[in-house]
Structure 1
């Protein structure tokens, strides 16, 4: 079935079409949910909430861009909204915000098993995990992140730097333990 027809049927709230969209995109969207969640159960909840939002707002999709991109954007926004509702993010404002240079090699250039990397990303404090995921994994700019999280661009840069340092430290420990 063509995607346009599926979307039209979803707009008419046809369960078979909604089920098909879910089957087509659930795995991809769940991987996004895992990146932004503390654990598997939270990711499942976020995926569920994302699809509820998707189907409630599918009439707003104008077929001008990628449908998958639209779904991903909703999923990311749903994950961020869950954190806003749970606990204030308390993003770290650095005393010296302009000093965000990181002399370490970017963690995204290091090769690790994806499951191990995801496990360490999930263990990051919320404020670091959100900025790291948005910037490194989903290619948002610091300006976009600052708007989404309502922080300054320098705070976004600082949180990214700290996330990278934390990840690098944990991954180095993991490598050392693996060599033993």
Structure 2
């Protein structure tokens, strides 16, 4: 079934493109929501990613699974979006949130997926991107540094600050 849809996309058939989009929309949104500042921005990133998919579908190797190929395009599109907006954000202070921690070992259960996404979206773009790439996607700091054009130390620092900021957000909202 997926092969038939992919073949239709290669032939620029709108119906096949629509089917592929609908088939993987929720999957794509689950990825872009982690990188975006809002649901609207996540949709924009996802739409950009699907445009890249449709443009480059001829390069997809049919002997490999489609989902990892799609995931890589979505993640790369989110990173590109981060780069495009990075210059605007450089003037913002990355340390807006104070790093006060009252309780390091608070365990909170019963938090919904949407609440977790909302908390991650509260992080600054730099912290959120490094957090997602390291914690969710499993990249190493060296890989993240190369992708985002930052130093390895900055990647490690941003991850550490993201974790502290998330802890602070958790404490404010759930304690």
TM-score, with structure 2 as normaliser: 0.85
Q: Distance in 1 between matches of 2:118 and 2:34?
A: 9
The residue number in structure 1 matching 2:114 is 115
Structural mapping, 1:1-180, within 5 Å: 2-88=1-87, 90=90, 111=109, 112-176=111-175
How far residue 63 of structure 1 moved from its aligned partner, in angstroms, is: 2.6
CA distance in 2, matches of 1:110, 1:146: 31
Which residue number in structure 2 is paired with residue 97 of structure 1?
Answer: none
- Please, what TM-score do these two structures have when normalized by structure 1? 0.82
CA–CA distance in 1 between the matches of 2:84 and 2:169?
Answer: 29
Determine the C-alpha separation between the residues in 2 that align with 1:169 and 1:37: 20
Q: Are 2:108 and 2:174, in contact at CA under 8 Å, matched by a contact in 1?
A: no
In 2, the alpha carbon distance for the partners of 1:139 and 1:66 equals: 19
How many matched pairs? 163
CA shift at 1:65, angstroms?
3.1
Root mean square deviation, CA, Å = 2.2
Question: Which runs of 4 or more aligned residues in structure 1 lie more than 6 Å from their structure 2 counterparts after TM superposition?
Answer: none
Contact 2:10 2:58 in 1 (8 A): yes
